[in-house]
Each structure stands twice: as C-alpha cells, then as structure tokens.
C-alpha cells in the first residue's frame, strides 16, 4: 500500500500549524476586539481561556490526529461511538470558511496590486480613486473599495487566483507543499510584520492606537466606543475569537496532528502554537492600530473595512514610501490567509485521499485536490458576486426578509461566518472536550502524548479542564456567539 507521507521536521510542522492559526482573525479581529472589550483586561481573559480551553483542545486534537494517523472523519470514527459524525461537521466547516476566506484573500491580492501600481504610478494604482475621493469628499480607501465591490467580475477573478494558489500548494502534498511554503513564509511574515510595526509606531499620534489597544476603559472615555460591554459579552468575544484564531473545533489540528511524527512532543508543540498565535495577534495590533489612529482617525477599526478602507488610507497618507509599506503589508496578509486556507483545504483533501488509499486505489491527492478546489471556487464566486450584500441576493433577500437585515442575513460572507465560526467551531470544540473527558477518557490522550517519551507534565490540569472547565466555558462562549450573531 502507498505510504502516508507527513511533515519531515518538527519545525516544518510547527510553522504549518502556526500558519494555520495565524490568519485574518489575528489581523482584523483580535486588535479591535481587545481595544473595544477592555484592553489589558481582555488580554488577561483571553490568555486564561487560551490556557484552559485553547491549549486543552489543541493537545486533544493533535493527539487524536496522531494516534489514529487519519484525517478528521476517520479519526472520530476510529475513536468514538457517539461522536463519529463530528468529522463531517469539520469538513463542512472547512468548506464554509474557505468560501469567504478565499474571497477575502483575493481582495488582499488586489490591494497588493493597487499598491504596486502606486509605486510605479501605473494606471492600476489608486490614482482614479484619488480623483473621485477629492470630487466626492470621501477617502481614497473608500473609493478603491467601492470600485472593487462595484465590479464583482474583478473580485471573482482575484478570488479564483487565491483558490488556485491554495490548490497548488496542497497539490504538492504535506511535506512537499504545505511544509515547504510555511517553513519559509512564516518567518518572512514575522519579519514583514516587524517592519510594519516600526513604521506604524513611529508615526505622530501612533500612541493613541496603543492606548486604545492596551489601556482598560480608554476606548469609552475617549468616545471610540459608546459603552463598555458586560463581562459575559467580553468572555464570549474572547472565547469565540480564540477558537477561530487557533483553528480549533473543525478538524484542522486533527489533520495536521495526523502527519506529525511519533517522536515529537505534542504538549510542547501545542503550547508553542498558542503562544505564537497570540504573539502575532498582539503584533498585528501594534501594526494596524497605531496606523489607523495616526493617519485615519475616523476609519473602521476592525473587519473587512479595516483592511480594505482604513489601511489603504493609511498607506495613501503616509508619504512617498506609503506604497512600499502597502505592498509589504498586503503581501503579509495574503500569506497569513494562504497558510490558513491550505490547512482548511487539507482537512477536506486528507479525508478523501486517506479513504482512497485505504481502499487500495493508490494516491489520489491530485484528483481530490482539484475536485475540492473546484467546489471551493464555486462558493468563492458566490461570496464575490454578492459583494458584501450589495447586489441583491444576500441570504436575507432570498428569504424575503425586509427592513434592516441582521448581520448574518445581510451578506453571504457573514452567513457562512455565522455558521462556521459562530456555531460549528465552538460546538465542535465543546463536543470534543466532552468526548475526551467523558467518553474515551483523558488517559487516552496522555498515552498518546507520552508514547514519544515526553512526560505529560500538564496531565492533572488537562484532566480537570477537559472534564469540567473547558465544556463549561464552551457553553458560555457558544451562548455568547449565538447571541451576538442573532440578537
């Protein structure tokens, strides 16, 4: 039978797993949520949740993956009677996230191109948008974004380019494609981020960005937000953000864990992934928020508008070097998105490739990667054509809803996000901890972690968390997420 090839080195695995975790969530989600939800206080709550829930589920997923040596569906099948079906929920989540992730990744490629155009004063730069901005009394970023949203064909082309890039890397396999790209790309991303941080933090007025992000209550006192959120909301915001950011609850880490060599230390790797993901989220804040407060003080602080309007304004107003930083920044975001999208596509591909191999059909990676990417392409076209709900066939429109549409119904991006990030991922993580705590037993995880010869020093803590603390936190987080999306 064909051999199942995995990561060649622990460094390669670590970079791929951190690459999966570091993505759009770190850049446009974390900094703004931290600022709007209590600054430093939010960070402490986030860290506590990351240790009591994130680290626990991370160890669980990596261990289950490595123990079974299978993708998400077969791994759950092999290990549990009651939760067999959860692997399929992971595959569905992967598709839904990819639909909007690829559309956004495509937008980022477009912005890299715009900044290259600006550098060379070319027609595809933001020149036309600048003229419109002066005539309409808007901003360059708003006009670039408006023109792009108003041209779904262009958005579709860029989205499909992003799908194709993701597909090419996954076609290369885990060791040959994913590991190679992440081993070079993640350190490069780190350096690019450092360069952008130095530029952003030395702008006059940058300090307000730091105050917004770190000082508790600053956002309310200075009128950036109206009122402070209550504790439960903060908890839910931190928890929801953490699960999405760590790529948990949908099989990505099970899949990557299944390719991890038996001699490697799961406990240490899990801790490093959590630490590095949080570090990059904080660093992203040091890059985007000082820029926003210095150069676009009324700009959006989070979400797509932060990336595609505010940040473009920041580069536009920087001075002659603006386009250079624009290129570095958007390339960095494109890479953060790609290293996440390859892990999402691998969740889907790994399942079908494993199944074919087990049935003696040989290595079917090529065929299944092409089929999965084609399906993702269709979803991506839908999200791009919807142009954030501006073209009249948002879910709410199709359902015949009238008046002000709730966020989840206002556009397809938010609809897919609500289903995956809002419901399926926290649900997946909650059921995973219940499965480990109460069905298969935490000692199974200990056995897998320790078979490499590394003692599981955190076992006592792991056991208490996985049985009681993690599921309890998850219920609160799930409740908060549903409340946020629907009410």
Contact footprint for ligand PHE (CB under 6 A): 20-21, 23-26, 97, 244-245, 247, 250, 252, 340, 343-344
CA–CA gap between residue 149 and residue 464 (Å, rounded):
49
Pick 129 or 311: Cβ nearer ligand PHE: 311
Minimum Å gap between C-beta 240 and ligand PHE is 11
Proportion of the chain in helix, strand, coil states, percent, rounded to 5: 80, 0, 20
Residues 6+ apart with CB under 8 A from 113: 124
Pick 160 or 342: Cβ nearer ligand PHE: 342
Taking the CA of residue 286 as centre, how many other CA atoms within 13 Å lie in the half-sphere pointing to its CB?
A: 17
Minimum Å gap between C-beta 58 and ligand PHE is 12
Q: Which residue has the tokens 């439960």?
A: 232
Minimum Å gap between C-beta 425 and ligand PHE is 7
In 3D, which of 453, 347, 435, 400 has the Cα closest to residue 82? Answer: 435
Pick 72 or 129: Cβ nearer ligand PHE: 72
Minimum Å gap between C-beta 219 and ligand PHE is 22
Minimum Å gap between C-beta 27 and ligand PHE is 8
Minimum Å gap between C-beta 183 and ligand PHE is 18
Minimum Å gap between C-beta 25 and ligand PHE is 3
Minimum Å gap between C-beta 296 and ligand PHE is 23
Pick 63 or 254: Cβ nearer ligand PHE: 254
Pick 36 or 97: Cβ nearer ligand PHE: 97
CA–CA gap between residue 7 and residue 368 (Å, rounded):
20
Pick 12 or 19: Cβ nearer ligand PHE: 19
Residues making up the chain, counted from first to last = 487
Ordered alpha helix ranges (H), 172-321? 180-201, 207-214, 218-221, 231-245, 252-258, 266-295, 303-305, 311-316
DSSP letter assigned to residue 452: T
Minimum Å gap between C-beta 357 and ligand PHE is 24
CA–CA gap between residue 323 and residue 314 (Å, rounded):
10
Minimum Å gap between C-beta 174 and ligand PHE is 15
CA–CA gap between residue 98 and residue 158 (Å, rounded):
14
Minimum Å gap between C-beta 463 and ligand PHE is 26
Residue 17: which H helix or E strand, with range?
Answer: helix 10-21
Residues 6+ apart with CB under 8 A from 104: 24, 304, 307, 337, 413
In 3D, which of 349, 352, 338, 355 has the Cα closest to residue 102? Answer: 338
Pick 166 or 433: Cβ nearer ligand PHE: 166
Burial of 221 (0-12, 13-18, 19+ CB in 10 A): exposed
| Token reading at 76 | 């759950």
Its sign, for the CA torsion 391, 396, 400, 402, is negative
In 3D, which of 251, 249, 256, 255 has the Cα closest to residue 424? Answer: 249
Pick 239 or 396: Cβ nearer ligand PHE: 239
Comparing every residue's Cβ against ligand PHE, the nearest one is: 23
CA–CA gap between residue 90 and residue 285 (Å, rounded):
29
| Token reading at 173 | 């396999």
Pick 23 or 141: Cβ nearer ligand PHE: 23
From residue 57, how far is each of 65, 201, 266 by CA, in Å?
Answer: 12, 35, 12
Pick 243 or 315: Cβ nearer ligand PHE: 243
Pick 133 or 287: Cβ nearer ligand PHE: 287
């Amino acid at each position: 039978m064909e051999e199942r090839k995995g990561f060649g080195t622990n460094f390669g695995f670590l970079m791929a797993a951190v690459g999966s975790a570091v993505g759009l969530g770190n850049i446009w989600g974390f900094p703004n949520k931290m600022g709007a939800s209590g600054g430093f206080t939010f960070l402490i709550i986030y860290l506590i949740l990351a240790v009591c829930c994130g680290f626990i589920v991370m160890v669980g997923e990596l261990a289950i993956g490595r123990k079974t040596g299978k993708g998400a569906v077969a791994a759950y099948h092999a290990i549990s009677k009651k939760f067999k079906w959860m692997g399929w929920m992971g595959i569905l989540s992967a598709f839904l996230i990819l639909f909007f992730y690829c559309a956004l990744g495509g937008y980022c490629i477009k912005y890299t191109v715009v900044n290259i155009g600006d550098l060379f004063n070319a027609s595809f730069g933001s020149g036309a948008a600048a003229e419109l901005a002066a005539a309409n009394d808007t901003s360059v970023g708003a006009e670039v974004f408006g023109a792009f949203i108003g041209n779904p064909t262009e958005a579709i082309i860029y989205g499909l380019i992003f799908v194709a890039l993701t597909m090419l890397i996954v076609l290369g396999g885990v060791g040959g494609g994913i590991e190679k790209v992440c081993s070079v790309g993640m350190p490069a991303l780190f350096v690019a981020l450092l360069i952008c941080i130095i530029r952003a933090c030395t702008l006059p007025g940058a300090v307000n960005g730091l105050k917004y992000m770190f000082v508790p209550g600053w956002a309310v006192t200075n009128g950036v937000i109206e009122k402070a959120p209550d504790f439960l909301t903060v908890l839910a915001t931190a928890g929801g953000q953490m699960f999405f950011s760590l790529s948990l609850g949908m099989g990505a880490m099970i899949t990557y864990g299944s390719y991890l060599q038996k001699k490697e230390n799961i406990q240490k790797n899990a801790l490093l992934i959590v630490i590095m993901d949080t570090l990059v989220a904080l660093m992203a804040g040091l890059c985007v928020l000082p820029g926003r407060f210095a150069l676009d003080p009324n700009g959006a602080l989070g979400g797509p508008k932060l990336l595609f309007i505010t940040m473009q304004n920041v580069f536009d107003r920087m001075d002659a070097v603006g386009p250079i930083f624009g290129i570095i920044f958007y390339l960095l975001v494109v890479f953060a998105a790609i290293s996440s999208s390859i892990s999402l596509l691998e969740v889907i591909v790994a399942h079908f490739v494993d199944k074919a191999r087990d049935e003696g059909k040989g290595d079917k990676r090529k065929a299944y990667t092409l089929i999965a990417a084609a399906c993702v392409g269709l979803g991506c076209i839908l999200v791009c054509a919807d142009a954030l709900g501006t073209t009249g066939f948002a879910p709410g429109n199709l359902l015949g809803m009238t008046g002000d549409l709730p966020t989840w119904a206002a556009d397809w991006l938010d609809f897919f996000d609500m289903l995956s990030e809002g419901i399926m991922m926290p649900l997946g993580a909650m059921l995973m901890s219940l499965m480990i705590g109460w069905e298969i037993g935490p000692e199974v995880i200990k056995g897998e972690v320790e078979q490499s010869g590394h003692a599981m020093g955190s076992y006592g803590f792991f056991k208490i968390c996985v049985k009681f603390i993690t599921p309890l936190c998850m219920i609160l987080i799930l409740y908060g997420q549903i409340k946020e999306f629907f009410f």
